Amino acid sequence: MAGIKVAVIGGSGIYKLDAIKVKNQIKVSTPFGEPSADVMECEVDGSSFYFLPRHGIGHKYTPSEVNYRANIFALKKLGVDTLISISAVGSLQEEYAPRQFVLIDQFIDWTKGLRKRTFFDEGIVGHVSAANPIETSLQKRLYEACQKAGVSSHLGGTYICIEGPQFSTKAESKIYRSFGASVIGMTNVPEAFLAKEAGMAYATVAMVTDYDCWKEEHCSVQEIMDVMKSNYLSAQKFVVQAIPSLVKDPVKFIPENAYAVMTDATLHSHHHKEILEVVLK
């Protein structure tokens, strides 16, 4: 396990491919409870990486129930500094069509405050800039991997994150379009911001499944699931291209969390120190 720096967090279909071998499953304890599942140590083309199914094995956690803090903390505790999010989304703009991937660069948080969204609370205060939540050097590398894998993709876009688990009403969808949002999902917030607090390079591969409900065409859940299956085949091809490249030639970036903590060190409890030793390392 030593030296593995790259991880993928996403749906369970990613690792179900002959080219990707699951070598080990690792149970990781965190101060925030259990992650969604054991972290899988995987290998593709001789390159090792970690994989964590965001919704648990069998997709048992709703977007609101995912323990985002435990997931990010567990991966950082294992030494991960480069995190790829693979996520299903709806499209809010005509140009982002189903079965295409969007390498987004911004987020709008439209969740309802139900999710624990920071490592810095309960007696410790910290601030990390979220101006650029995506690590652009990683984003561009992932876009290149999509191109090499033959996956139709877009470089850039804004992801609006809603609470779910219900999809939008038409009125809501039209509002989100008016914001200039490109795609809509339910999981990348607070995941992206927690990765930022943990000093990770984070980037999202957003897989378009449908046109949300703003477009005047019927789209059933079954139809969305069919597109998702197709998208996961593309995602598997993408992973085969992306992982070896990132392992052999790691992304270079500067973590922005080094001076985040404002609370006087003399006030740090054992619990705080346990968190900071991992998040800030």
Which residues have a Cβ under 8 Å from the Cβ of 80 and sit 6 or more positions away? Answer: 4, 5, 6, 7, 50, 200
Angle at CA 152, nearest 5°, toward 149 and 157? Answer: 120
CA nearest to 65, candidates 45, 41, 36? 36
Distance between CA atoms of 72 and 251, rounded to whole angstroms? Answer: 18
Active centre residues (catalytic): 210, 212
Alpha helices in the chain (DSSP H): 68-77, 136-149, 170-178, 188-197, 221-248, 270-279
Q: What is the DSSP string of 42-98?
A: EEETTEEEEEEETTTTTT-S-TTT--HHHHHHHHHHTT--EEEEEEEEEESSTTS-T
